[in-house]
Structure 1
Amino acid sequence: SGTAPNGDPVRELVLANAQSGAIALHFNQAAAGKQRLICDAKNQVDSDNNPNTNCDDAGERVRSEGQAASGNADIDLAYDYSGITYDFFQSRFGRDSIDGKGTPLISLVRYCTPTATCPYQNAFWNGRQMTYGAGFASADDVVAHELTHAVTQFSSNLFYYYQSGAINEALSDVFGEIIDLTDNRGNDAAGVRWQLGEDLPAEIGVIRDMRDPTLFGDPDRTGSSLYKGDALDNGGVHSNSGVANKAAFLMADGGSFNGQTISALGLEKTAQIFYRVNNALLTSGGDYQDLGDALGAACQSLVGSNGIVAANCAEVSKVVLATQMGATPTNAAVPADAPICASGQTRSDVFYDDMENPQSGRWASTLLAGPLAAWYYGSSTPIGPQIYATSGKNNLWGANIGGSPSQPAAPGDYALALTLPVAVPANAFLHFRHAYGFDSDEDGTYDGGVLEYSLNGVAWADAGPLFSENGYSGTIAAQGGNPLGGRSGFVGASKGYYASRLNLGTLAGKSVLFRFRIGTDPLFTGDGWFIDDLRVYTCGGVAGPTATTGPTATSGPAPTATSGPAPTATALPGTVPLVMFSTSGESVSESMGSVLLTVYLSRPAAQPVSVAYSAGSGTASDASDYTGASGTLAFAPGETSKMITVAIVNDRANEPNETLAITLSAPNGLALGPTTSATIVILDDDLTGASAASYRVYLPVIRKP
């Protein structure tokens, strides 16, 4: 028994073999349960602007689980209200803490950031802990709001952007208020029912009204003129949450709204339905239409439990209709999804990738021009997770890189291509889901993305003429040096996910590679390009859309050879497979701890094969900056990809970014392909303290104008 270096309790059970001494089993017997850890910044400005470093060891804790009250209201209310929130989720849903695995609830009170006045007048969840300005832990609904962000992170993981971000915020408001109304603490007067923040310091006061969101300029339905459509506040997440907030109020208390009269379900049933939605039904890319569908499905799945009956689900359907969740927001419209097949037809996939397996080896990024081939799986990027998925828990993401007027970047041109061609049958389509936010303003669309295809992996043609639904949205500005300047492409902000479809009729009988390509000018960044659920397929059965003649495969610009290495290579029959990296470069922050490089074969080998890899040129030093940069990869028959893990040393030195080149050599049963070297850029993060790359930082609970 004892404590770990971080102060957590340890009661380790160790079972050893009596003869050999080998350890057969060991585990910590200390129960997880409720663990509250409170730290106090004492209204002193944080020197490194990183709240995590103010509450990361036992010596900084001013109150831990089971300890007596401190006498300081901020400390003790953060302790009490985080415990009440834990008890709410545990008693109703069996959830052990925010992640369901007993992780400690860390709260930092009286925090002051260098970028705002002190005392700090806000609160936020940063992916690791709750952080409160002075007096903000005094509001039970605000504490529960922030902790529900954590629950959402470990549940649906709704992406903090436009509609999905608004639903994320609304879930925190919903559970924050339901906990407020059931904990018998704070101000529960009838006049403040469904108001958020009534217990905040007087100079702040109430910040949202869920009964009538319009009182604070927030929409109560997707068709409201108050629905925010611009990019401010991550796409209006704190305001557009009003739609789901109104839905929760109507579901719990009932009432008449927008032509619907709803009978109340009460707080407990409402909590059960919204929890099932968050924990089991929504993905990170969920929008209001998805929420409407999920609310109905959640209610149906709960009939017979928690007092929920079928008649309740009819009321839920009325709530969805009243708040217009099935309609795209009037002020932030997203194109309707392109159909996969016509109603009554059956889809037959030739190729499908839901982007759930980063080790599949199906995609390779290539730098055509500029500083970085900035394509990644959403689960692993240099700036932390960028998970925004329409199915499962992963997606592809292309960063929209750029610089500033004082430090412009080189124009960028980088692509992500399939590593193996798809044999396109007659009457085939390509269908994919995507969302994007490229640098633009009222004067122009400066960055953007295109889809291209190739019959040989060297010459690429624009696939724009092949789109049958939801093709390019505009023209990439010709000025500014963007390599794609003047071309049609996806530009601006999609404001959410939608599906596009291409008619592949003119490519029938050919083996085709497809790639997504981003072009940027030297200035400013955007949200990037998110891609999920790509398929090539045919439709059969009842007559519907068919991929017949359509535009010719060579309409538009003729295929031209790209600069830089080819993103893929296909071995000729009878030759040995090619071995190569899937990318020519990766960037990683020191605090990420490691970086993964994918090495893949152009086709499976019939016998065991191998290739060596080793560290080459670069400014990084072995042992002090990285380890594990040399070895041999062995491929069994049938295998086509392997991962190299290079450990990154998270030092405390303030130093320039460093580079490390990993090179393939000594192929056995293989031939070296075009991408035999990958350069790792190690990004120093010691200027601002520990990196936040591992955490999603949510905007503070109060929206600033």
Structure 2
Amino acid sequence: MAAGLAALPALSAEAASTPTKSDQNVVQRMEAEASEGARFKTERTTGKVGFVRAASQGDLMPSQKAADGASAAAKATAYVDKYAGAFGATADQLTEAGVTATKLGWTVRYDQTYQGVPVFGARLLANLDKSGDLTSVNGFVAPDLSLSTTPAFSQAEAAARAISTVRANPPGADGDADLSGIKAASTTLSVYRLGAIRGQTGDNILAWVVEVTNQKNVRDMVFVDASTGKVVNRYSMIADALDREVYEESPEPANLVWKEGDPFPGTLNQSHQDLVEGSGDAYWLFKNTFGRDSFDGEGSTMKTVNNDPTISCPNANWNGVTTNYCTDVTSDDTVAHEWGHAYTEYTSGLIYQWQSGAMNEAFSDIWGETVDQVNDRFNETPNTPRVEGQCSKFTRGNVGVTINAPAEIAGPCEAAPAAFGPVFDKDGVTSDVVVGTDVAEEGGGSPTDGCSPFDNAAALAGKFAYVDRGTCSFAIKADHAEAAGATGIVIGNNVPDPPSSPVGTADIYGVMIDQASGAKIKGATGTVNITIKDIDEDPKDNTYRWLSGEGDPAFGGAIRDMWTPTCYGDPGKVSDAEYWCSTDDSGGVHSNSGVVNHTFALLVDGSTSNGVEVASIGLDKAANVFWRAQSAYLTPTSRFPDLANALTTGCADLVGKPINAVSIDPDTVTAADPITAEDCAAVLAATQATELNVEPTQCNFKPMFAKNPPALCGSKFKTRTVWKETFEKGLGKWAKTQKIVFEGGIAEPWKTASDLPGSHGSKAAYGPAPDEGACSNGANDFSSTNGITTPQVKLPGNGVQKLSFQHYVATETGYDGGTVKISVNGKDFKIVPKSAYLYNKPLELTSEAEGNTNPLAGKTGFTGTDGGLPTGSWGTSIIDLKKAGAKPGQKIKIRFEIGRDGCGGNDGWYVDNVKVVKCVKKQQNKVVLGRQG
């Protein structure tokens, strides 16, 4: 590695691969050209330069001058063209997309295209100061582009597939979003780099990027492979203040209740007044402090919608057109939070998925809390600084639930308190629990889900009602329990994940318990009695400071804690056990936002956290540093390490420069104290305390299959092929089988595929398990299996026999999956046990959960995708045929069988290069010495 790179630990720490010699030479030239040298950082997903910054307030390109926007753009373009290869692009791929004048100088944006096709999320930002010095260039571009830009199917077909995907798997907390009026608002042909959003290395593919929306409560980005038609990614652009989807409508002219210039408050109700004032607070925060005129920078009208009957309350969101709120969810920080999503969309454009989405969510929390700290509305007191690591006494604490009776189910439950109703104290509440049964099963749900009025209401009066999670919102369940006269509600989780805090507006006690405990209560034969109490032992802060949403009556208390995120089960640093590793919630956008929230709170108030001392720099300076990072350095696919770099670089930009104090008064713009080098040291310390540059290794994201399989027979044996299949001539030799569970149901047979995922060449057998079906136990139900079976293969009479095959799996985790079966000497097929696999054995079983109608449920199988991604990758599995039940000299058949439940899905199972081999010992050469004479 060249000396210029070796001296930069940040570069090597983030490198996805060792830079090539050519890359090193380019970086050396870039460093030599800069007037004071340069600092570099590698883009994790590409191994190329992701950030270059002039050292010591120097200039990356001193040979060219700039004095205005046009000359600044010209200088930046000259530099980008010259060194495009260092970032992973060619000069002709980078197009200037705009110049933004700032108080510090100019930001020039470059978007990447390939043969006229845009590259999704690929953007470089060049920053120049008022003196015309080029101070930095950063961003992400897709390197090594070499692919066809001719799609295999039309824009209309891609849109139809995307809409079908959303219909088959609706968004919403329980998949119950209203899909009326959904359409493809845009369908754009793009180059898409797999894994970039996750910060992983992936292939470049041609994809149709489809925005599916009803301009209300659905706004999903669906990525359809333009060669295969497969959906390779999907995420929601509905940004909401809680950890679930929300329901609202776009505003209708007839429903306009107030516009700029109308009398205020006039006849407006309190929620409408809150929205008018809250939107004004958000507007003036960004206008006075950062000079931005509305969310798009062009003064666009800020429209809000309140109290629509389709919203699953309590909640609020930004849907790309309007911000939308339930009644009593209109506090100052909540309204500013939702408008924060709009400002993010029109600046950095952070994709609402994984770490980029967690940053998107955190910026909204930050701007909401900033408004809350400077206005004179919703000011809950006291608002004094917090003690490091402590929760607020106004936080709903951890609760313990103990089943007291009957004795056979007595014991503790895992639990989370509801965000409504009375708060549990140390003494606790003891009550009998009665399972609520519904009058009707609305929406096809469970008769114990509480989604319709209870037919045993009399038995619930004065007791706690038990209901199952799912089908409808928590608020509806709690309202039904309250209407029945219950004094509390216990909600049993419907998945084995930890319980979460239910939300609602009912004035009764509430708690969620784990799935297993819920099953015990439902199965109890005697009277169930429980005790619930606050089990927090640590002291708590007597202050509301850094609580989010605490002023919304419908929440019954705050929904997040920015100072100590772990008080709400969110991580405060990357290595925390609470860090969200699942694909749920778009990869933890709401939970993992706690890391960024904690960074901001630490900077404002100062503390020693995670062993790092962070000095307080105050609200004015912290807000300006975060805005500079958001607006000048972050791109759609930025991750936490990019934020760390953006914050430290943004702070350096601001040293000694004029900044404005945070203000929401339309008549007041005042200067704040200048940012100093000491302040930037605090910024660096905050990023270290919350570990923004640390990878979440506890997630252990890995491909499903290990790579580099061993030689089939090793070095001491010869490998002789007994039988093989490459599928280059199709499936002609293979027998097909099929089983459909329900009359009127559907199945899909194996076929030969040539457009294979993961750049796998040639052809392969493909067992489909797409996102189809109706889960109807009848017409169009996809509960079925399809198999392909080899011709009969006679094993040799000696040696060790093995079966190997290459395969790719991308199925609905736990519900769809494939098995390998074997028949010996014409007997029934049996599933090959895990113990027979020598390499890449099945990792899990297909789920036996209630409602899984896959005929293979509970059997050993390959299911799921790679490390949290919606896609898989190729691997080789090796089976010892003797351990699978076949001895030398016997005749065998092998069957690959794919199974699905009634609906939903992903892609399926690809199988290639199936081979039966014999391993025999190599003959040792013997030397015979004769006797002379």
Q: Using structure 1 for the length normalisation, give the TM-score.
A: 0.45
Looking at both structures, which has the greater relative contact order when contacts are Cα pairs under 8 Å and sequence separation is at least 6? Answer: 1
Q: Using structure 2 for the length normalisation, give the TM-score.
A: 0.34
Bigger CA radius of gyration: 2
